[in-house]
């Protein structure tokens, strides 16, 4: 499979196989006007299988969100056809305004102007809880 | 600025300090009678909870302060859809401290982020109810003289009763405490309480369905309501409800210095025949609730006596 090399853009590499679509949706890549390529189940020496996303423009990406979904991702920023910067991810301490709380009893469900916030409550299990109701974070 | 949103906001030292103040208030009520002169407490009750509201109001009046507020959302501007943030900002122009009861989880936390004055959570939709836990702790201190070395039986609905989870969490911070968790299998303690509190802290606990078997070992018996709506079918409810009703007969094997507690209101889980037993301390518990709220108000208003 051939997907053109990008001049300026972002390559999200080493996505855990199967998580690509989740990331596509969460970062709202469907709303971009540039080209976006998704490669699923690519061969990887390190991981066996992986997903890759190529975005044909340098956009602002919320690295905290990526770190929350899949901290193993490598973010490669490409400028002029060359690797300009490589970002490694960390587990964010808190996620603001990204995920909606799914607990129907949570105050954020009736007051939409409140900014949602989830905090890392346990590092090993990558557990995030709503600061308002303590419900576990769920992906959209 | 200190708020009281979740019992976990308070360290053991801070809790012990509140209890010491409450005990001093019990011994020397006159000394505290005018400590809140000129202070106003706003009680914002978005759902009715008469007991809790009266306890806070009595606490503030006994400190010499005054109380304003509403006791259900329907009678106030909040029924017109005003946000919690706007309401508390407005109220903060009139009051020195806010007490909030709200059906939605996290509403008092929102209030504490916006009000600019101390906020006390008086219950947010079955999520947190820190002043109930503080009340339970003061009761145990008064009835038992301390917290260490106690075997605490908790009986009834251990699954949905968040005050029970919060009591276990608070008591597990004291040394040499053990729990006997008594409930029908359908309402047993959730795994997260065991996995996040009991097991990591190496706290001995037994789960049982039999109140009779547990009785002889208990220093404290904390009874809770077993509510009809928690059961999938009526037959299960009818089969189980009487098993967890405390009667004088069931107390025959109990220790002579057992303390029987209940957060109240009760439905029928403690027979009225138990009320005259000196071991029944649930009405004293109500009184302690007022004293610990007095101590909390003083602490959050930063008034030292
Ligand atoms: Zn929530």
CB B195, CB B126: distance < 8 Å: no
**For residue B188, is it within any domain?**
yes
What spatial distance separates the first Cα and last Cα of chain A, rounded to whole Å? 30
Q: Is B279 in the same domain as B161? A: yes
A62 contact B CB<8A:
no
The model's pTM is 0.89
B64 contact A CB<8A:
no
| Residue found under tokens 């996995």 | B195
Q: Is B139 in the same domain as B21? A: no
- What pLDDT does residue B75 have? 61
CA distance A42 to B94: 64
User: What's the B264 CA to ligand 1 centre distance in angstroms?
Assistant: 28
The ipTM of this complex is: 0.88
pLDDT tens for residues B187-243?
999 998 999 899 999 999 999 999 999 999 999 999 998 877 777 788 888 877 777
Q: Is B145 in the same domain as B92? A: no
| Domain count along chain B | 2
Check whether A3 has a pLDDT greater than 90: no
Check whether A90 has a pLDDT greater than 90: no
Q: Which domains does chain A have, with CATH numbers?
A: 9-88 (3.30.70.140), 94-138 (2.30.30.20)
**For residue B2, is it within any domain?**
no
Q: How big is chain B, counted in residues?
A: 305
Q: DSSP assignment of chain B, as one string?
A: ---BS-GGGS-HHHHHHHHHHHHHHHH-HHHHTTTTTT-EEEEEESS--HHHHHHHHHHHHHTT-EEEEESSGGGSGGGGT--HHHHHHHHTTT-SEEEEEESSBTHHHHHHHHSSS-EEEEEETTS--HHHHHHHHHHHHHHHSSSTT-EEEEES--SS-HHHHHHHHHHTTSTT-EEEEE--GGGPPPHHHIIIIITTTT--EEEES-HHHHGGG-SEEEE----GGGSSSHHHHHHHHGGG-B-TGGGGGS-TT-EEE--S--SSSB-GGGTTSTTB-HHHHHHHHHHHHHHHHHHHTT---
Tell me if A110 and B106 make a contact (CB, 8 A cut-off).
no
Q: Is B138 in the same domain as B250? A: yes
Tokens of A117: 């916030």
Q: Peptide bond before B172: cis, by omega within 30 degrees of 0?
A: no
Tell me if B126 and A105 make a contact (CB, 8 A cut-off).
yes
Q: Is B187 in the same domain as B87? A: no
Q: What CATH number is attached to the domain comprising B213?
A: 3.40.50.1370
Q: Is B178 in the same domain as B138? A: yes
**For residue B1, is it within any domain?**
no
Q: Is B121 in the same domain as B134? A: no
Closest alpha carbon within chain A to B110? A132
| Residue found under tokens 């409450």 | B22
Tokens of B179: 């729990």
Q: Is B90 in the same domain as B194? A: no
The C-alpha of B128 sits at a distance from chain A's nearest C-alpha, in angstroms, of: 9
pLDDT band at A115 (very low <50, low <70, confident <90, very high): very high
Check whether A2 has a pLDDT greater than 60: no
pLDDT tens for residues A6-42?
889 999 999 999 999 999 988 899 999 999 999 999 9
Check whether A128 has a pLDDT greater than 90: yes
- What pLDDT does residue B163 have? 86
User: What's the B100 CA to ligand 1 centre distance in angstroms?
Assistant: 18
Domain that holds residue B65: 7-128+289-300
Interval A58-79 mean pLDDT: 91
Each residue's pLDDT, cut to its tens digit, for chain B (305 residues) gives 999 999 999 999 999 999 999 999 999 999 999 999 999 999 999 999 999 999 999 999 999 999 999 988 776 666 668 899 999 999 999 999 999 999 999 999 999 999 999 999 999 998 999 999 999 999 999 999 999 999 999 999 999 888 899 999 999 999 999 999 999 888 999 998 999 899 999 999 999 999 999 999 999 999 998 877 777 788 888 877 777 899 999 999 999 999 999 999 888 899 999 999 999 999 999 999 999 999 999 999 999 98
CB B87, CB B46: distance < 8 Å: no
Closest alpha carbon within chain B to A114? B110
Interval A115-122 mean pLDDT: 93
Tokens of B301: 């208003």
Q: Is B149 in the same domain as B106? A: no
Name the helix (H) or strand (E) containing A63.
helix A63-69
A-chain CB neighbours of B124 within 8 Å are 107
């Amino acid at each position: 499979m051939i997907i053109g090399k990008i001049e300026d853009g972002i390559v999200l590499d080493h996505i855990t196989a199967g998580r690509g679509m989740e990331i596509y949706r969460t970062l709202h890549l469907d709303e971009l006007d540039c080209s976006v390529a998704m490669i699923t189940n690519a061969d990887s020496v390190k991981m066996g299988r992986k997903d890759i996303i190529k975005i044909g423009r340098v956009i602002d990406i919320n690295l905290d969100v990526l770190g929350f979904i899949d901290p193993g991702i490598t973010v490669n920023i490409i400028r002029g056809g060359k690797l300009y910067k490589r970002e490694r991810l960390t587990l964010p301490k808190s996620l603001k305004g990204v995920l909606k709380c799914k607990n129907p009893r949570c105050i954020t469900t009736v007051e939409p102007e409140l900014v949602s916030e989830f905090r890392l409550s346990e590092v090993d299990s990558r557990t995030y809880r709503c600061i308002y109701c303590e419900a576990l974070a769920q992906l959209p | 600025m200190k708020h009281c949103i979740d019992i976990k906001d308070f360290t053991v030292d801070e809790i012990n300090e509140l209890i010491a103040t409450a005990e001093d208030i019990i011994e020397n009520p006159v000394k505290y009678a005018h400590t809140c002169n000129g202070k106003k407490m706003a009680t914002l009750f978005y759902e009715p909870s008469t007991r809790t509201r009266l306890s806070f109001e009595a606490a503030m009046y006994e400190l010499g302060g005054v109380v304003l507020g509403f006791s259900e959302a329907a009678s106030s501007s909040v029924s017109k859809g005003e946000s919690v943030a706007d309401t508390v900002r407005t109220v903060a122009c009139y009051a020195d401290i806010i007490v909030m009861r709200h059906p939605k989880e996290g509403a008092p936390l929102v209030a504490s982020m916006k009000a600019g004055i101390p906020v006390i959570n008086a219950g947010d939709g079955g999520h947190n109810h820190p002043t109930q836990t503080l009340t339970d702790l003061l009761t145990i201190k008064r009835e038992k003289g301390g917290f260490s070395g106690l075997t605490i039986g908790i009986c009834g609905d251990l699954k949905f009763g968040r005050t029970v989870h919060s009591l276990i969490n608070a008591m597990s911070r004291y040394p040499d405490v053990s729990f006997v968790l008594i409930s029908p299998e359908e309402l047993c303690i959730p795994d997260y309480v065991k996995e996040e509190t009991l097991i990591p802290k190496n706290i001995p606990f037994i789960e049982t369905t039999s109140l009779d078997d547990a009785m002889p070992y208990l220093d404290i018996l904390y009874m809770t309501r077993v509510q009809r709506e928690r059961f999938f079918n009526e037959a299960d409810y009818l089969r189980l409800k009487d098993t967890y009703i405390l009667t004088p007969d069931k107390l025959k094997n109990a220790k002579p210095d057992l303390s029987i507690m209940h957060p109240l209101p009760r439905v029928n889980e403690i027979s009225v025949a138990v009320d005259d037993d000196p071991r029944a301390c649930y009405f004293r518990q109500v009184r302690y609730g007022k004293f610990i709220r007095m101590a909390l108000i003083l602490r959050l208003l930063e008034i030292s006596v």
